[in-house]
Amino acid sequence: MSKQRWGSRLGVILAVAGSAVGLGNFLRFPGIAAGNGGGAFMIPYFISFFLLGLPLMWIEWTIGRFGGGFGHSTAPGVFDTMWRKNRFIKYFGVIGIFGPVVIFSYYTYIGSWLLGYSVFAVTGKYAEYTEAAQMAEFLQAYQGLTVNQDFSGLGTAYIFFLITFAINIIVVGFGISRGIERFCKWALPLLLVIALILVVRVLTLGTPDPAQPQNNVINGLGFLWNPEWTALRDPGVWLAAAGQIFFTLSVGFGVILTYASYLRRNDDVALSGLTAAATNEMSEVVLGGSIVIPAAFAFIGAAGVEAVAQQGIFDIGFITMPLVLGQMAFGQLFGFLWFFLLFVAGVTSSISLAQPAIAFLEDEFRLMRREAAVLFAVITFLLCQPVIFFLGHGVLDEMDFWGTTVCLVVFATVEVILFGWVFGIDRAWTELHTGSDIRIPRIYRFIIKYVTPVMLLTIVISWIVTNWNTIFYLEGVEAANKPFVLLTRVALLGLFVFLLLMVRIVWRRRPETTTPEGEL
């Protein structure tokens, strides 16, 4: 079975950028920046970008291409290829399959809300609601948490979930070039165009209420970008900035590693990785930072925006923004553009989350692409059901915690140590520049080998010291929800153990291979 390849450099850059450009760019970033010192937040944000995000982006592109040359497109095989003398390293790579599967299982459902709200915006289904409490009740009824005159159960939400789930499986079922690349080639430009339209509309709002001239877009931009320097003394701001960089670039998931495995030996990874990262940052800082906060400030003022900045991304996206956009001329149209923008961004991210598991089935079990896609669909469809039917009992939050917060940082730490220390920084630097159109500043040799792993280990150790007790004893979890959370943990542990066994079975069946020249 011949290995799939990307059709063009532009295609893989758009696919990787599409994986990164998601809900975090347009929802999480403005909220977290406004709530953590405004413009001052950008200092730890860009420091984290240059010392964590960009090195990890280059690392994943490089080791993915390297492992792909040996027929591996997922972390277990790639890690094993990089360190053949260690028979346990492949099991650490399971995190790069487990995390994306878990995230896909709830991210797809959240994406379906965006499709549903796109339709609701056009049809004016929520147009009569003008208060936050009313929009919150509308959202909860749609999710099946309550009942109102609009929804009497999960029927509507489940239909949109089935449509969204099918779109994801169809796209990945067509493969790398004919499915993911083709979809991202039109999806990413489309979402950027929609984002530009929304930015232009927001920046031309001026002062919607002459009676409150202080509530205008310029002051809204100032609220987001004027620095509150005292915030830099708060360690939580620095951790928030580092966390945002992880989320926004999609590093630490194993997704970019898998995408890069479909490159050819001399395909550029240095410039391509930089371009994908820059595209994401432009989408987040320039576009994402110019929609939510300025628009909200123009209509609800500083006090309202301060409250918005403390809300979760669901409240910002599904409650505040519909109310704000509804006060504009052609509010239904802009409401549709807002939710459809997020829906397209969500799909470009979710299809990337599906790829590691499907690639594992293709590479290690020799399944045909559509067979692997169908098997993946069956497994993740079942995993989606607890999220849908027990949403109000902490299942989604629990899956999000283990799929992102834990897996992301642990996986990133393993791969950066493997790349800079086991593979060796000299060899790694040569591999990174093979076929490259640019030369990366040599300071990044030092950063990749010392700075990035130290920062990651600091995050991991500090998190374990400060949080293990809270997590282990379910502190803060309501008593009624503890059985659901515990069952979710048992299910996730079972999935992880199952993947470990699959890797063990595959490697035991595999014939002994000759170590390539220079291989560890």
What the chain holds in terms of domains, given with CATH numbers, is 9-509 (1.20.1740)
Tens digit of each residue's pLDDT (9 = 90 or more) over 211-251: 888 888 998 888 888 888 888 888 878 888 888 898 889 89
Residue 463 has pLDDT above 80, yes or no: no
Q: What DSSP designation does 264 have?
A: -
Helix (H, G, I), strand (E, B) or coil at 38: strand
The whole-number average pLDDT for the span 6-14 is: 89
| pLDDT-derived band at 260, boundaries 50, 70, 90 | very high
Q: Where are the beta strands (DSSP E) in 109-207?
A: none
Alpha-carbon distances, residue 300 vs 27, 315, 371 (angstroms): 18, 15, 51
Q: How high is the pLDDT of residue 430? A: 96
Alpha carbon 457 to its chain's center: 21
Q: Which residue has the higher pLDDT, 426 or 472?
A: 426
| pLDDT-derived band at 518, boundaries 50, 70, 90 | very low
Residue 197 has pLDDT above 90, yes or no: yes
Q: How high is the pLDDT of residue 465? A: 81
Spatial separation of the C-alpha atoms in residues 13 and 21, rounded to whole Å: 12
Here the tokens at position 122 are 């056009």
| pLDDT-derived band at 16, boundaries 50, 70, 90 | very high
Q: How high is the pLDDT of residue 512? A: 54
Query: Please, which contacts does 238-244 make with residues 24 or more away whose CB atoms are closer than 8 Å?
Result: 238/44, 238/48, 239/459, 240/32, 240/36, 240/41, 241/36, 241/41, 241/44, 241/45, 241/47, 241/48, 242/44, 242/48, 242/52, 242/455, 242/459, 244/24, 244/28, 244/29, 244/32, 244/45, 244/48
The whole-number average pLDDT for the span 305-320 is: 79
Tens digit of each residue's pLDDT (9 = 90 or more) over 89-142: 999 999 999 999 999 999 999 999 999 999 999 999 999 998 989 999 999 999
Q: How high is the pLDDT of residue 514? A: 43
Which residues are within 8 A (CB) of 197 and not within 5 positions of it... i.e. 6 or more apart? 337
Q: How high is the pLDDT of residue 1? A: 54
Question: Angle between the 75-82 and 54-68 helix axes, to the nearest 10 degrees?
Answer: 80
Residue 515 has pLDDT above 50, yes or no: no
Residue 281 has pLDDT above 70, yes or no: yes
Residue 363 has pLDDT above 50, yes or no: yes
Task: Give percent of the chain above pLDDT 90.
Answer: 65
Tens digit of each residue's pLDDT (9 = 90 or more) over 154-189: 999 999 999 999 999 999 999 999 999 999 999 999
Residue type present at position 21: V
Tens digit of each residue's pLDDT (9 = 90 or more) over 25-49: 998 888 888 888 888 888 999 999 9
Task: Give percent of the chain above pLDDT 70.
Answer: 98
Residue 293 has pLDDT above 90, yes or no: no
Q: What's the mean per-residue pLDDT of the chain?
A: 90
